[in-house]
Amino acid sequence: MSAERSRTISPALPVDLRLTLFGLRRGRLDPSVRFEPTGVWRATRTPAGPVTTHLRTTPAEGTVAMRAWGAGADWALDAFPQLVGADDTEDGFEPGTGVVAELHHRLRGLRIGRSGAVMEALVPSILEQKVIGLEARRSHARLVRGLGEPAPGPGAGTLVVPPPPRLLAATPSWTFHRAGVERKRADTICRACSYSTRLEETVDMAPDDARRRLTALPGIGPWTAAEVALVALGDADAVSVGDYHLPNQVAWALAGEPRADDARMLELLEPWRGHRGRVLRLISLGAGAAPRWGPRLPLRTIAGQ
């Protein structure tokens, strides 16, 4: 078993790991991230190699600790404070006195972290384009289990490290098909992974420059870029324009309106410019869904077709 390394930090603001790391886990089927009462387990691929990490908080002491195993352990420990949003001081954020203030008080441990893992955020975001969430999560789990590798240390046998971009770039279409991914999304993933080095460079760019770099690639639009920016780049102002449900949820939470479009959503979020992504995360995690009157979209399966 790989040697264990560890680090403990004391963030200025409280950190709730489930709220803060919510975007890293793509549903309960995700074989690379596991939430447990004792903390959060994660298998990831760093520039130094694969790593298994376990994170836990000690609220009474105001600390967050990480244990790490594998070739990427030192890299993960160095990036640990950014991952849990230890430097997220909420500068300039004014929740006001309404719904946002109530959510901010109730979800006080929500931090905007920065995983730095652009491709690990991008691939599942592409899978979520124009399909039902459960369908995308199933596809992601199948691809990770089928193409990934066992996590190092105590993660072996229970966690899987997501496959490297070079492997996904060379994956034939029929492998994606068996995972329930049609040709269009498969081609977008392969294309993005072939440019992974350029896309990973966005971690060192200003938010607008990073967004332009991401959306310059065919198949990656504003919605996908915003999903990556919030999780991998720590962009607290990222807004997922083009989402099927989000405008309705925002309008319902902030204005009591059951239906809205992107323009209305942006109008309602304008008072929190600079922190619109933070407000969206608060609403997504703490507010109820807008009323649904129409039939649910059917769950597709193309793997056997």
193 in a domain, yes or no? Answer: yes
Residues 225 and 259 in one domain: no
Residues 222 and 270 in one domain: no
pLDDT at 116: 97
Residues 48 and 136 in one domain: no
Residues 43 and 83 in one domain: yes
User: pLDDT by residue (tens digit) across 189-230?
Assistant: 999 999 999 999 999 999 999 999 999 999 999 999 999 999
67 in a domain, yes or no? Answer: yes
pLDDT at 133: 87
pLDDT at 303: 59
The token pair at 120 is: 């690990």
Domain extent, residue 11, equals: 5-87
- Round the average pLDDT of the chain to a whole number and report it: 94
Give the rounded distance of the alpha carbon of 226 from its chain centre.
10
Mean pLDDT of 152-164: 92
Last residue of a domain, one of 87, 102, 135: 87
Mean pLDDT of 285-295: 81
58 to 6, 63, 64, 66, 108: CA distances (angstroms): 15, 5, 6, 12, 15
* Rounded Cα distance, 142 and 138, in Å: 6
93 in a domain, yes or no? Answer: no
User: pLDDT by residue (tens digit) across 105-136?
Assistant: 999 999 999 999 999 999 999 999 988 889 99
85 burial (CB, 10 Å; 0-12 / 13-18 / 19+) is: buried
293 in a domain, yes or no? Answer: no
Residues 71 and 157 in one domain: no
Residues 134 and 213 in one domain: yes
Residues 194 and 255 in one domain: no
301 in a domain, yes or no? Answer: no
Report residue 57's pLDDT band, with 50, 70 and 90 as the boundaries: very high
144 in a domain, yes or no? Answer: yes
Residues 79 and 49 in one domain: yes
* Rounded Cα distance, 239 and 276, in Å: 6
Instruction: Identify which of 172, 145, 175 has the alpha carbon closest to the alpha carbon of residue 161.
Output: 145
Report residue 244's pLDDT band, with 50, 70 and 90 as the boundaries: confident
Residues 252 and 174 in one domain: no
Domain total in the chain: 3
Residues 20 and 63 in one domain: yes
pLDDT at 301: 65
In this predicted structure, the answer to whether residue 45 has a pLDDT above a threshold of 80 is yes
Residue 285 C-beta-side C-alpha neighbours within 13 Å: 24
Last residue of a domain, one of 87, 110, 139: 87
In this predicted structure, the answer to whether residue 300 has a pLDDT above a threshold of 70 is no
Residues 122 and 193 in one domain: yes
In this predicted structure, the answer to whether residue 1 has a pLDDT above a threshold of 70 is no
- Reported pTM: 0.93
Could you tell me if 245 and 296 are in contact, meaning their C-beta atoms sit under 8 angstroms apart? Answer: no
Could you tell me if 189 and 170 are in contact, meaning their C-beta atoms sit under 8 angstroms apart? Answer: no
Residues 173 and 146 in one domain: yes
